[in-house]
Chain A
Amino acid sequence: DAGVIQSPRHEVTEMGQEVTLRCKPISGHDYLFWYRQTMMRGLELLIYFNNNVPIDDSGMPEDRFSAKMPNASFSTLKIQPSEPRDSAVYFCASSFSGRTQETQYFGPGTRLLVL
């Protein structure tokens, strides 16, 4: 089975541009998470969804960030306008709530560089 799929794998953009990151969770998983990883702050949870509904977006840095999940097999994280401090690796993860101890399966990440 395919794991979590993220695209693009790498993105280089200029400050002020809009950036859209995409994620396809594992089929059948009902939770989806967006994380950001930097050397300074480590791995931080930005937002997570359950059954396509945002549950907790308290980790979203500011209004420039938005996330959507229009259906069970697709989610986007958008940054508009982008800034150099947004440079990081962004991970999407999914999990299935049918077990007592849920495992989060991470995608390979999108490495974002904002110049």
Chain B
Amino acid sequence: TQLLEQSPQFLSIQEGENLTVYCNSSSVFSSLQWYRQEPGEGPVLLVTVVTGGEVKKLKRLTFQFGDARKDSSLHITAAQPGDTGLYLCAGAKGSNYKLTFGKGTLLTVNP
């Protein structure tokens, strides 16, 4: 049973389009992180959200943590080819040391 469900699994869009990817769970997390992974590399942390309802912005990326701390979304405005990659969400319960990862959304932004 996957604790964190990410959707969609695959997403292919044109440069300039907006998109939202989702990370859902039936469990409550103390914090949730989003990572981006490029081919042949390890995941790189984008953001950590810890408060229910929290919204964080990182340039064209907007991250939201659900009020109940069970779900999160990532919205990208005006996607660019450089945004291409595997987006992973990871939840922590208690300490941030032990993370549970979703399977990811593979995003392709076509020029």
Contact = CB atoms under 8 A, between A and B. Distances in A.
Interface of A: 4, 31, 33, 41-45, 48, 50, 55-56, 91, 93, 95, 97, 101-109
B99 A109 contact: no
B40 interface: yes
Nearest to B4: A42
A109 B45 CA distance: 16
Contact of A48 (B43, B48, B50, B98): B98
Interface of B: 2, 31, 40-45, 48, 50, 88, 90, 96-104
Contacts of B102: 42
Nearest to B42: A106
Contact of A103 (B42, B45, B50, B101): B45
Given A42-B102, A43-B88, A101-B31, A48 B97 contact: yes
B103 A104 contact: no
A102 B101 CA distance: 16
A102 B42 contact: no
Contacts of A55: 97
Nearest to A91: B42
Contacts, number: 52
Nearest to A106: B42
B99 A104 contact: yes
Given A42-B103, A101-B50, A4 B97 contact: no
Given A43-B104, A108-B42, 8 more contacts: A42-B2, A45-B100, A48-B97, A55-B97, A95-B97, A101-B48, A108-B41, A109-B41
List 6 tightest A-B contacts by C-beta distance, closest first.
A106-B42, A42-B103, A43-B101, A102-B96, A101-B48, A103-B45
A102 B97 contact: yes
